[in-house]
Chain A
Amino acid sequence: MKTYRLKIKPQGSFLTLWQADTVFGNLCWIMAWREGGDTLKEFLAEYKNGNPAVVLSDGMPGDFLPSPAHLSLVEQKGEGFAAYKKAKELKKVGWLTPEIFQSVRNGNLDINPAQDAKTFKTFITLHSSINRISGTTGEEGSLFELEEHALSESEQFISIYLKIKDGWEEKVFALFKNLSLTGYGKKKSVGKGAFDIIGQLELFHGFNDFKGSNGFMSLSNFVPAKNDPTDGFYKTLVKYGKLGGEFTFCGKPFKKPLMMLTYGSSFKVNGNIKPFYGRMVENIAPVKSEVVQYGYSFAVPVRLEKI
């Protein structure tokens, strides 16, 4: 598997955050519509067998990379208020510049927390529906609000990192190209999640293994597999997934709630570090037994011995 970076430029705001499992689901629908359901089944069968064709990271703002979960747990040299204050400041750091990320990856956790970045903006917009008889708005229930997200002005694009099996590059790029025509996430039909792809897939060498690495950090939310490492640092989120495409109209479009580990989670590894961890979760949708939930982790080698 080689590592690539894909840069995408949102054309406006988006309602759905760029989480790897949601992006994967959107790509699967494109595949089903373009090549048929059987092709998708074959594609997903490999994932269930632990042999994925492509592993995705969550969407990262610009060149920024996530702060690892263990960053705020760094052992301070001195005890007392100053150490406590610094640990608290480090806890708030969401994103790191590529240089600081590399430094943290190599085990240096003594960073300047002031370099945190405000990269996404969240806001509320009001919408209303028009009464077909009066031609106006304002009746009960016609006004509603949506929570939207946008890149801040300082960031020009979102980076998605991909580990792709040899021979799949063109196909993966074509799927993203098609996705850019339909839009991503909720409310696509009114232009939310519209994006352009900048350039092509770029080979990326920033996550290579190095001497001294003894763990991995995930760049995507994931669900650990049975034999995955357990000694580490993580945060959790509960995912309330929904079915997409035509399955939205099946009557019960909700998946079962699923606990996932968030991006930034890091674990110690004995032996070689694999390019990915995690697994696919089956039997997640009560009314559609064939539906699976993507839960693979985009793993980046790190050094964790100082913790």
Chain B
Amino acid sequence: MKLRKFVSITGTIHCESGLRIGGTKEGIIEPGGSENTILRHPITSLPYIPGSSLKGKMRSLLETDASSGANIDNGRPCGCGTCLVCKVFGSHGMAHKEITRILVRDCVITDKSETVLRTAQEEKGVNFAEIKSENIIDRKSGIAAKGGLRTQERVPSGTEFSMNITLKLFDGDNEGQIVDFVRKGLDLIQKDYLGSSGSRGYGKIKIENLEVNDLA
């Protein structure tokens, strides 16, 4: 296989609602602190969207799309090695594998959003995330059920992240088809959601300033 070129797809992910991609909490939980923290960079402690979340969500939505040709009858990622999903995102399992064409980088918070959230941290004590309380309604009494109250961290709406995707194109690859396929995946995420709890409104995103450029 001969590598013909690299194509970059860049853009800005704008959170139209709170975004929650769960992380693990190291050390001791402070009194009153949330147990359900978001994912943060281990060194800078800034929230980010992992490339694995963006790629995984794109792939799963494209696999459930009727025209993809992917085989998902058992609920697992497609491993046929022949459909476009397997070609672009990599075949799940060992059979019929090819080089994965797509590289989805971690999406880091934009300078603009970092400034806004730092100001909020200094003025309001917000630690780069809002704390959202949720509960369960007791179906008989119509009030909050005992034990149903919990808190969740999520990145506030309005926060923006830089998106950076690279495509490796080999001889024989149909560039237009692959680029359009990735665009479709991004479009599907905007209609669906990113992260967790999408059915209750979390993770609605909009991708702005989408650009496709040749790299080398």
Contacts and interface: CB of A to CB of B under 8 A. Distances in A.
B69 interface: no
Interface string A125-151: 111011111110001000000001011
Interface stretch (B93-101, B139-147, B152-160): B93-101
Interface in B54-108: 55-57, 60, 63-64, 72, 75-77, 89-90, 94, 97-100, 102-106, 108
Nearest to A253: B94
A62 B20 CA distance: 34
A189 B182 CA distance: 14
19 contacts: A12-B48, A12-B108, A13-B106, A33-B2, A125-B23, A125-B24, A126-B22, A129-B77, A132-B60, A134-B75, A150-B42, A150-B43, A182-B168, A187-B52, A188-B103, A190-B51, A245-B99, A246-B1, A249-B97
Identify which of A124, A132, A134, A183 gathers the most chain B CB atoms within 10 Å of its CB. A132
A135 B203 CA distance: 14
Interface residues of B, number: 45
A182 B166 contact: yes
Contacts of A150: 41-43
A187 B43 CA distance: 20
A124 B39 CA distance: 12
B212 interface: no
Nearest to B6: A181
A36 B1 CA distance: 8
Nearest to B8: A181
A191 B51 contact: yes
A11 interface: yes
Which size class do A's interface residues fall under? 35 or more
Interface in B12-64: 22-24, 26, 39, 41-44, 48, 50-52, 55-57, 60, 63-64
A183 B103 contact: yes
